[in-house]
C-alpha cells in the first residue's frame, strides 16, 4: 500500500461504522474474546474511531487473567516439596499467588526457567539429570497443540522427569455462557485460536444465540473491518459468522493440530478465575501421556486461595464492567503492584487501560 | 498470549523441523502442525511452532481491497 493508504482505509472503515451505527436505536456492545486483540485495539487507538453507541468490552481470552491464584500456589509448592525446576512462559512470572509470585520464589532461591517454546522444557528436563522438571501449562487452543506436540516428542524420547501442571482452557464453554448474555450483541472472534479450530466451529453463535461473530486478524485495519462487519450484521438483524482473517484461518482450521490435542489430552472441568468452574472447559493429559500429569505424580496440598473481595476482575472478564469503575484501578492496583489478574498480564484489560489511558 | 507472527520458511532442517526468517531474524521452528509446509511458504509462528501457512492469494486480496478503499477515499476527500 502507498504511504497514507492505511489511514485513508481506516477513516473509510470508521465512516462506514458511523453510518451503520447511526441507524441503530440503542447502544451495541461487542466483546473481543482474545487478549491479543485487546492489546491491538488499545495500541492502535481504535476506540477513538468508533461512535459513542458502539462499545468494545474485553473477554476471558487472556490465559493469565483466567488462571486461578491457586495454580501459582500449586506450582511453588511442587517446586519446594519435590525440589523441582519450574519451566514457564514469561507471562506467568509476575502473577501474584497467595504467598508470592514465581518471581519472588526465584528470588528466594527457587528454580524457575522462562522459555519461549514449550519444546525448551524437554531440553530443560534432559539437562536436569533426573530432577523433576515441571512445565506450567496455561493457554488456549493456539498454545495447547504446542504443548501436546511437546509431550508427544517427550514420550518418543523416553523423557521421564518432565511433568505438566494443567490449567489449559478451551474457548467454547465460556463463549456459550457469554453468548447467552443479553448485554452482548456480537463477538470479535480470536484469530489464532480460530486458525486451529476453524471459522466454522462458531456457527452455534448465530444458530443458538442469535449473536454475530467475526474472526479477525490483529492489525488495526483487520479489526476495523471486522467491527464494520459486526455493526452491519447487527444493524441488518442478520447475525452470522464471517471470517475476515482468511489469509490465516481456514474454515476447517488445522486438523493436524487438533488431532495432536485429541491424542494427548482429555476434557475435564476447569476453574476460571472470576468465573468459577465451567464443566468440560479444561484439558488433562490422558492415556500414555498421563505419566506427565504433575497433579497425579507430584501431588501437593494446595490451600484454597482467596481473591481480594474489592477486585472487580471477575465482572471485567465477563464484559460486565470496565476497569475504570473499579475502586482499586490505578490506585492500589497498578502494573507495578497488581492486585488482580487483569492488571498483571500485559494482555489484561486493566493493564491495557492503564498503559493507554483509555478511561 | 496468542501472539503469532509470519516468518518465511527458508530451510527444512530435519523431520518436522525448519528454519524461518523475518527481517534477518532467523530461528528454528517445529513443523509438526504443518507437515506440508514448503520452503518459501510464510508460516504463522507461535511458541516455536508453525501453526498455519499464510495463504498468499488471500493476503493479496486483502491488500487490494484496502488499496481500493484508500483510493476511493482519497478521491472522495479531494473532490
Per-residue HEC secondary structure of chain A comes to CCCCHHHHHHHHHHHHHHHHHHCCCCCEEEEEEEHHHHHHHHHCCHHHHCCCCEEEEEEEECHHHHCCHHHHHHHHHHHHHHCCEEEEEHHHCCCCECCECHHHHHHCCCCEEEECCCCHHHHHHHHCCCCCEEEEEEECCCCHHHHHHHHHHHHHHCCCCEEEEEEECCCHHHHHHHHCCCCCCEEEECHHHHHHHCHHHHCHHHHHHCCEEEECCCCHHHHHHHHHHHHHHHHCCCCCEEECCCCCCCCCCCHHHHHHHHHHEEEEEEEECCCEEEEEEEEEECHHHHHHEHHHHCCCCCCCCCCCCCCCHHHHHCCCCCHHHCCCECCCECCCCCCCHHHHCCCCHHHHHHHHCCC
Q: Which of B1, B32, B63 sits opposite A347 (nearest CB)?
A: B1
The pLDDT assigned to A262 comes to: 98
Please, which residues bridge with residue B42 across strands? B8
Would A286 be classed as within a structural domain? yes
A4 reaches B (C-beta below 8 A): yes
Is the model's pLDDT at A11 over the cut of 50? yes
**Nearest Cα to Cα of residue B16 among B54, B49, B55:** B49
Best B27, B47, B58 residue to mutate vs chain A (most A CBs within 10 Å): B47
Is there a domain that residue A234 lies in? no
Domain containing B72 equals 5-77
Round to whole Å and give the CA distance between A165 and A75: 7
Domain count of the fold of chain A: 1
Give contacts of A 30-59 with B, CB under 8 A: 34-36
Whether residue A103 is contained in a domain is answered as: yes
Low-confidence ranges of chain B (pLDDT < 50): none
Query: A91 and A345 in contact (C-beta within 8 Å)?
Result: yes
Q: Domain range spanning residue A95? A: 65-168+280-297
Distance CA A39, CA A158 (A): 40
B70, A2 contact by CB (below 8 A): yes
Contact A216/A244 with Cβ under 8 angstroms? yes
Report how far apart, in Å, the C-alpha atoms of A158 and of each of A177, A218, A260, A296 are: 41, 39, 18, 19
Q: Which region, left, alpha or beta, applies to residue A54 given φ > 0 means left and ψ of -120 to 50 means alpha?
A: beta
In chain A, % of residues over pLDDT 90: 85
For A:209-238, CB contacts with B below 8 A are: 218, 221
Residues in chain B: 79
The pLDDT tens digits for A59-84 are 988 999 899 999 999 999 999 999 99
Q: Are B4 and A146 in contact (CB < 8 Å)?
A: no
In a domain, A210, yes or no: no
Interface residue of A248, A254, A346, A351 to substitute, partner B, most B CBs within 10 Å: A248
A-chain CB neighbours of B4 within 8 Å are 142, 192, 195
Query: Cβ separation of A190 and B72 shorter than 8 Å?
Result: no
Burial of A83 (0-12, 13-18, 19+ CB in 10 A): exposed
Q: For chain B, state the CA radius of gyration.
A: 17
CATH of residue A91's domain is 3.40.50.11740
Using a CB-CB cut-off of 8 Å, the residues of chain A touching B61 are 246
* pLDDT bracket for residue A261 (50, 70, 90): very high
Q: Inter-chain contact B66–A221, Cβ cutoff 8 Å?
A: yes
Chain segment A224-236, per-residue pLDDT in tens: 999 999 999 999 9
What does the alpha-carbon distance between residue B77 and residue A251 come to, in Å, rounded to a whole number? Answer: 37
pLDDT in tens, A174-188: 999 999 999 999 999
Query: Going by C-beta distance under 8 Å and a sequence separation of 6 or more, which residues neighbour residue A352?
Result: A38, A39, A41, A42, A58, A358
Q: Are A152 and A49 in contact (CB under 8 A)?
A: no
Helix (H) or strand (E) holding B10: strand B5-14
Are B51 and A142 inside 8 Å of each other by CB?
yes
Burial of A109 (0-12, 13-18, 19+ CB in 10 A): exposed
Chain A residues with CB-CB distance to B55 below 8 A: 246-248, 250
Residue of B nearest to A15 (CA): B73
pLDDT at A299 over 60: yes
pLDDT of res. A86:
98
Opening angle at CA A73, ends A298 and A59, nearest 5: 115
User: Which chain A positions have a beta carbon within 8 Å of B30's beta carbon?
Assistant: 117, 119, 146, 149
Could B72 and A12 be called an inter-chain contact, meaning their C-beta atoms sit closer than 8 Å?
Answer: yes
Provide the pLDDT confidence category of residue A359 given band limits of 50, 70 and 90: very low
Query: Which residue would you say has higher pLDDT here, B77 or A200?
Result: A200
- What pLDDT digit, counting tens, does each position of A304-313 carry? 988 889 999 8
Query: Tell me, what DSSP letter sits at residue B4?
Result: -
Whether the CB of B69 is below 8 Å from some CB of chain A: the reply is yes
* Residue A138 resides in a domain: yes
> Average pLDDT for residues A2-12, to the nearest whole number?
90
Q: Does residue A126 form part of some domain?
A: yes
- Asked if B5 reaches chain A (Cβ–Cβ under 8 Å), the answer is no
CB contact under 8 A, B1 and A11: no
* B17 in contact with A, Cβ within 8 Å: no
Contact A145 B67 (CB under 8 A): no
* CB atoms A12 and B2 under 8 Å: no
Q: Please state, as a whole number, how many other Cβ atoms lie within 10 Å of the Cβ of residue A97.
A: 21
CA atoms within 13 A on the CB side of B33: 33
Is residue B3 helix, strand or coil? coil
Count of domains for chain B: 1
> How many beta carbons lie within 10 A of that of residue A309, not counting itself?
5
Residue with cell 447511526: A22
The predicted model gives A286-301 an average pLDDT of 98
Residue range A100-137, pLDDT digits in tens: 999 999 999 999 999 999 999 999 999 999 999 999 99
- pLDDT above 50 (res A173): yes
Element (H, E) at B70: helix B56-78
Of B30, B33, B54, which has the smallest distance from its Cβ to A254's Cβ? B33
CATH code of B37's domain: 2.30.30.140
Position A347 pLDDT exceeds 90: no
Domain assignment present for residue A5? The answer is no
Global pTM value: 0.95
Least Cα separation, residue B60 to chain A (angstroms): 9
- The C-alpha atoms of residue A78 and residue A215 are separated, in whole angstroms, by 39
C-beta atoms of A146 and B2 within 8 A: no
CB contact under 8 A, B3 and A248: no
Residue A250 in domain: no
Mean pLDDT along residues A82-102: 93
Amino acid at each position: 500500500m502507498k504511504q497514507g493508504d492505511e489511514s485513508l482505509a481506516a477513516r473509510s472503515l470508521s465512516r462506514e461504522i458511523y453510518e451503520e451505527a447511526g441507524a441503530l436505536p440503542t447502544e451495541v456492545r461487542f466483546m473481543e474474546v482474545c487478549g491479543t486483540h485487546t492489546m491491538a485495539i488499545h495500541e492502535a487507538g481504535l476506540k477513538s474511531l468508533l461512535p459513542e453507541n458502539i462499545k468494545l468490552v474485553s473477554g476471558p481470552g487472556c490465559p493469565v487473567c483466567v488462571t486461578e491464584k491457586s495454580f501459582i500456589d500449586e506450582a511453588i509448592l511442587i517446586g519446594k516439596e519435590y525440589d523441582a525446576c519450574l519451566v514457564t512462559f514469561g507471562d506467568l512470572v509476575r502473577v501474584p499467588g497467595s504467598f508470592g509470585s514465581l518471581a519472588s520464589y526465584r528470588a528466594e532461591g527457587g528454580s524457575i526457567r522462562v522459555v519461549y517454546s514449550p519444546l525448551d522444557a524437554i531440553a530443560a528436563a534432559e539437562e536436569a539429570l533426573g530432577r523433576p522438571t515441571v512445565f506450567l501449562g496455561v493457554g488456549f487452543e493456539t498454545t495447547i497443540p504446542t504443548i501436546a506436540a511437546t509431550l508427544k516428542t517427550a514420550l518418543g524420547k523416553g523423557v521421564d522427569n518432565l511433568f505438566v501442571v494443567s490449567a489449559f482452557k478451551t474457548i467454547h464453554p465460556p463463549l456459550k455462557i457469554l453468548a447467552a448474555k443479553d448485554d452482548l450483541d456480537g463477538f470479535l472472534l480470536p484469530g489464532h485460536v480460530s486458525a486451529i479450530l476453524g471459522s466454522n466451529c462458531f456457527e452455534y453463535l448465530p444458530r443458538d444465540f442469535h449473536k454475530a461473530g467475526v474472526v479477525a486478524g490483529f492489525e488495526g485495519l483487520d479489526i476495523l473491518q471486522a467491527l464494520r462487519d459486526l455493526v452491519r450484521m447487527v444493524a441488518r438483524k442478520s447475525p452470522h459468522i464471517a471470517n475476515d482473517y482468511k489469509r490465516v484461518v481456514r474454515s476447517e482450521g488445522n486438523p493436524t493440530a487438533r488431532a495432536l490435542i485429541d491424542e494427548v489430552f482429555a476434557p475435564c472441568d476447569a476453574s476460571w478465575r472470576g468465573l468459577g468452574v465451567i464443566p468440560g472447559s479444561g484439558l488433562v493429559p490422558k492415556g500414555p501421556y498421563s505419566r506427565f500429569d504433575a497433579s497425579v505424580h507430584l501431588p501437593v496440598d494446595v490451600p484454597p486461595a482467596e481473591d481480594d473481595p474489592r477486585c472487580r476482575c471477575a465482572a471485567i472478564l465477563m464484559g460486565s464492567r470496565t476497569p475504570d469503575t473499579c475502586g482499586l484501578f490505578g490506585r492500589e492496583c497498578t502494573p507495578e503492584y497488581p492486585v488482580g489478574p487483569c492488571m498483571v498480564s500485559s494482555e489484561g484489560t486493566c493493564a491495557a487501560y492503564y498503559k493507554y489511558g483509555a478511561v | 498470549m496468542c501472539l503469532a507472527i509470519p516468518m518465511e520458511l527458508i530451510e527444512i532442517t530435519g523431520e518436522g523441523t525448519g528454519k524461518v526468517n523475518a527481517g534477518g531474524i532467523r530461528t528454528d521452528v517445529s513443523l509438526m502442525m504443518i507437515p506440508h509446509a514448503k520452503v518459501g511458504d510464510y508460516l504463522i509462528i507461535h511458541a516455536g511452532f508453525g501453526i498455519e501457512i499464510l495463504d498468499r492469494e488471500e493476503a493479496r486480496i486483502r491488500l487490494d481491497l484496502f488499496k481500493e478503499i484508500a483510493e476511493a477515499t482519497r478521491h472522495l476527500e479531494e473532490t
